[in-house]
Amino acid sequence: MTVRARSDNVDVEAATLRAVARRSDSIALPDVLELRSLLDVDGEQADTLEERVRTIISAIDAELAGWDRQEVLA
């Protein structure tokens, strides 16, 4: 997956979520909005854009894994 930053002001978290949602058959807009509100990522500490994106994707993976566990328990 490629996340392109067009300027220094780009919201990397939002761009990453959009890219993940586009590539997923199971993540709909409400899911993206919920993920956005739940993510607690301090990507600003990462030195490069690539590291920031990796940090955000790891947080998305962790959050979705929690969703999967909740569905199994339901």
Which sign does the torsion angle of CA 5, 6, 10, 15 carry? Answer: negative
Instruction: Name every residue whose Cβ is closer than 8 Å to that of residue 45 and which is 6 or more positions away in sequence.
Output: none
Residue 11 in tokens: 């919201």
Determine the Cα–Cα distance for residues 42 and 66; give it in Å rounded to an integer.
20
Predicted model pTM: 0.65
In the chain, where are the structural domains located? 12-73
Q: Is the predicted pLDDT of residue 5 greater than 60, yes or no?
A: no
Query: Residue holding tokens 């780009």?
Result: 10
DSSP symbols for 24-42: -SS--HHHHHHHHHH----
pLDDT tens track for 15-69? 888 888 888 887 888 888 888 888 877 656 667 888 888 888 888 888 888 877 6
